Amino acid sequence: MRRKGLACMAAQAVESATPAPSDVSLGPAAALSCRECGERFPLGPIFACAICFGPLEVAYDLPTGDPEALRRRIEAGPHNIWRYAPLLPVPPDVAARPNLNPGLTKLVRADNLARELGVTGALYVKDDSGNPTHSFKDRVVAIAVEAARAFGFTTLSCSSTGNLAGAVGAAAARAGFRSCVFIPHDLEAGKVVMAAVYGGDLVGIEGTYDDVNRFCSELIGDPLGEGWGFVNVNLRPYYGEGSKTLAYEICEQLGWRIPDQIVIPVASGSQLTKIDKGLKELIALGLVPDRPYRIFGAQAEGCAPVSRAFKDGHDVMCPVKPDTIAKSLAIGNPADGPYVLDIARRTGGAVEDVNDEQIVDAIKLLARTEGIFAETAGGVTVGVTRKLIEAGLLDPALTTVVLNTGDGLKTLDAVAPTTGPSAIIRPTLDSFREAGLA
């Protein structure tokens, strides 16, 4: 019912001009399974259930046996997401293939921020601005690249308004794919440069981001799109799995322990649901002790359909028209919203939102306490953390991890109006003395 929007895209995908190869080897990935009805499908470039139109996700034959041996194998692996290859839909030799090799970004112990927020437990920021193109998108694209290889695609594509375009362009360049990325034609000049510099084709579409998405869905069903892997459409089941690595890394970096509380931004909601999936896998594999954890979702007030539904006690969301400076979270009808609601409620978490002013304040708070310059999505998670503590929903005495998924250099405009010099002086000691800064 709540998946109506996917129905026509699913029908197209099933009829897609690109045949699914019969012999696909993606490590422990065994099949695709429907998250709604459980029906299973062979691995292929499909993303919606042919029975009920529910979204598909990767089902695994995960390694069994001694957890200690698996943990040692992971710890001896490369310093990037490929150390978790045994838990991802990628071939075993993935680390040797040309790839941007994202991941194992810093988990920063944020004692200064903790003091400001009144947190007495351990507070950490998982800082994904350290990825190759400076956002968490490098993780999901890296997995999509391997699926694209397995399915014989030669062009990597996506619709995007920012981070994803750069991540796809860069990954395609390194991995030897052609790329063709679609953006609204009126994107800011800086973002166009970040997307176009990797030398793939960048196509501006005269229309809104919704028009861009609709066009991409059409292209997938057309012979024109033959051989094209759209990382966030026909490769989406694989792509999404990249977010699990955030869960793996956080736990490993905490000494193979699940934190009590995690604050995660919600755009489509995929990242949050996959982090939950990753935590459950670690428990099932015996890699971490089974203990309760709370997952919190963070949205911008100007695009808060999940937060609204959470507060209203609803299971479904009312789509909204986004109006917020947090552009990377501006998805008005989040596909995974219902799952986010389930997870927040099941784990004793919550979904909250902050307004644009609070986002900017939180960006600056994180910068001046920890020296981390986050994009607006990072302002959302830090701002929501503060609000959740004030509301008594997040326990300041427990261990908490807050995600920063992107880089402030990409959203300079958000802080520019309120960020400037303390003083302008003449180059003399007297002038400096008068400024009162010594």
Nearer to a second copy, 255 or 427 (CB): 427
Give the residue carrying structure tokens 């362009």. Answer: 169
Binding piece for a second copy, criterion CB under 8 A, among 30-38, 164-172, 230-238, 387-395:
164-172
Binding piece for a second copy, criterion CB under 8 A, among 276-284, 344-352, 395-403, 430-438:
430-438
Nearer to a second copy, 185 or 291 (CB): 185
Site string for a second copy, 224-263 (x = CB under 8 A): xx--------------------------------------
Angle between helices 4-14 and 209-220 (to 10 degrees): 30
**Contact 330/322 with Cβ under 8 angstroms?**
yes
Angle between helices 270-284 and 337-347 (to 10 degrees): 50
Binding piece for a second copy, criterion CB under 8 A, among 12-20, 58-66, 193-201, 290-298:
193-201
- Could you tell me how many residues make up the chain? 438
What gap in Å lies between CA 32 and CA 320, rounded to an integer?
Answer: 30
Cα distances (Å, whole numbers) of residue 199 to 193, 206, 243: 10, 21, 26
Give the count of beta carbons closer than 10 Å to the beta carbon of residue 195.
Answer: 25
Binding piece for a second copy, criterion CB under 8 A, among 43-51, 234-242, 304-312, 414-422:
414-422
What gap in Å lies between CA 145 and CA 279, rounded to an integer?
Answer: 24
Q: Based on the shown chain and the rule CB under 8 A, indicate whether residue 214 belongs to the binding site for a second copy.
A: yes
- Bridge partner residues of 33 (DSSP): 40, 57
Binding piece for a second copy, criterion CB under 8 A, among 4-12, 32-40, 222-230, 283-291:
222-230
Q: Based on the shown chain and the rule CB under 8 A, indicate whether residue 87 belongs to the binding site for a second copy.
A: no
Site string for a second copy, 270-299 (x = CB under 8 A): ------------------------------
Q: Residue 270: name the closest of 1, 55, 123 by CA.
A: 55
Q: Based on the shown chain and the rule CB under 8 A, indicate whether residue 410 belongs to the binding site for a second copy.
A: yes
Q: Based on the shown chain and the rule CB under 8 A, indicate whether residue 176 belongs to the binding site for a second copy.
A: yes
Shortest distance, CB of residue 418 to a second copy, whole angstroms? 10
Q: Based on the shown chain and the rule CB under 8 A, indicate whether residue 81 belongs to the binding site for a second copy.
A: no
Considering only 61, 318, 409, 434, the residue that binds a second copy (CB under 8 A) is 409
Q: Which distant-in-sequence residues (6+ apart) come within 8 Å of 120 by Cβ?
A: 114, 396, 397
What gap in Å lies between CA 156 and CA 147, rounded to an integer?
Answer: 11
Nearer to a second copy, 37 or 423 (CB): 423
- Bridge partner residues of 403 (DSSP): 126
Site string for a second copy, 367-386 (x = CB under 8 A): xxxxxxx-------------
3-class DSSP assignment, residue 74: helix
Total residues in contact with a second copy, by rule CB under 8 A: 81
Give the count of beta carbons closer than 10 Å to the beta carbon of residue 78.
Answer: 14
Q: Based on the shown chain and the rule CB under 8 A, indicate whether residue 68 belongs to the binding site for a second copy.
A: no
**Contact 43/29 with Cβ under 8 angstroms?**
yes
Considering only 132, 259, 379, 396, the residue that binds a second copy (CB under 8 A) is 132
- Which 296-355 positions form the footprint of a second copy (CB under 8 A)? none
What gap in Å lies between CA 193 and CA 132, rounded to an integer?
Answer: 16
Nearer to a second copy, 129 or 381 (CB): 129
Give the count of beta carbons closer than 10 Å to the beta carbon of residue 19.
Answer: 11
Nearer to a second copy, 42 or 98 (CB): 98
Q: Based on the shown chain and the rule CB under 8 A, indicate whether residue 62 belongs to the binding site for a second copy.
A: no
Strands 107-109, 123-127: parallel, antiparallel or unpaired by DSSP? antiparallel
Shortest distance, CB of residue 336 to a second copy, whole angstroms? 25
Q: Based on the shown chain and the rule CB under 8 A, indicate whether residue 392 belongs to the binding site for a second copy.
A: no
Q: Based on the shown chain and the rule CB under 8 A, indicate whether residue 72 belongs to the binding site for a second copy.
A: no
Nearer to a second copy, 313 or 371 (CB): 371
Could you write out the DSSP letters of every residue in 383-417? HHHHHHHHTT-S-TTS-EEEEE-BBGGGGHHHHGG
Determine the residue type at 428. T
Shortest distance, CB of residue 94 to a second copy, whole angstroms? 15
Shortest distance, CB of residue 76 to a second copy, whole angstroms? 12
- Which 92-121 positions form the footprint of a second copy (CB under 8 A)? 98, 100-101, 104, 106, 111-112
Considering only 7, 69, 397, 435, the residue that binds a second copy (CB under 8 A) is 435
Written as six digits, the tokens of 107 are 């988990």
Cα distances (Å, whole numbers) of residue 327 to 149, 171, 324, 349, 411: 30, 22, 7, 24, 9
Considering only 15, 23, 64, 79, the residue that binds a second copy (CB under 8 A) is 79
